[in-house]
Amino acid sequence: MLNPIDDMGRELDAKFTLEKLPDGFALTVESRGGSDHGPNRSRNKNYIDGILLHLKRMAEHDMRLDEIQVASAQALRLPESERVVWPDGYPRPLKMAGVSDFSDLRLAIGRQSAAFQNTSNSTGNNSKRMKLIVRSSETAAMTMDQLEAIFTGRSGASVWTEAPTSDEEKLRERVANARRAARRSSAKGKKPPNGQNDVKRVSSSLERFVRDPNVIAWVLEQAAGSCEACSEKAPFQREDGEPYLEVHHVRPLAEGGPDTVDNAVACCPNCHRLLHHGSGQEKLRQSLLERLGRLKDWPQKPMA
The residues binding Zn ion (CB under 5 A) are 227, 229-230, 248, 268, 271
> Measured from the CB atom, is 132 or 268 closer to Zn ion?
268
The least distance separating Zn ion from the CB of residue 277, rounded to whole angstroms, comes to 10
> Of 78 and 216, which CB lies nearer to Zn ion in the complex structure?
216
CB of 253 to Zn ion, least distance (A): 9
> Based on CB atoms, which residue is closest to Zn ion, 21 or 254?
254
CB of 249 to Zn ion, least distance (A): 6
In the complex with Zn ion, the residue whose CB is nearer, 142 or 229, is 229
In the bound complex, what is the minimum distance in angstroms from residue 231's beta carbon to Zn ion? 7
Beta bridge partners of 265: 248
The answer to whether 151 touches 15, Cβ cutoff 8 Å, is no
Q: Which is nearer to Zn ion, 27 or 264 (CB)?
A: 264
Least spacing, CB of residue 268 vs Zn ion, in Å: 4
Smallest distance, Zn ion to C-beta of residue 304, A? 21
CA nearest 3: which of 49, 42, 66?
49
Give the nearer residue to Zn ion in terms of CB position, either 142 or 268.
268
Q: How far is the CB of 278 from Zn ion (least distance, A)?
A: 11
- The DSSP result for 181-208, as a single string, is HHHH-TTGGGSPP---SS----------
Secondary structure (DSSP) of the chain: -B--B-TTSPBPS--EEEEEETTEEEEEEPPPB--SSSSSPPB-TTHHHHHHHHHHHHHHTT-EEEEEEE-STTGGGS-GGGGEE--TT--SSEEGGG-S-HHHHHHHHHHHHHHTT--TTSPPPSS--EEEEEE-HHHHTS-HHHHHHHHH--BTB-S--PPP-S-HHHHHHHHHHHHHHHHH-TTGGGSPP---SS--------------HHHHHHHHHHHTTB-TTT-PBPSSB-TTS-B--EEEESS-GGGT--SSGGGEEEE-HHHHHHHHH-TTHHHHHHHHHHH-TT---PPP----
CB of 291 to Zn ion, least distance (A): 13
Shorter beta-carbon distance to Zn ion: residue 74 or 226: 226
Of the pair 71, 265, the CB lying nearest Zn ion is at 265
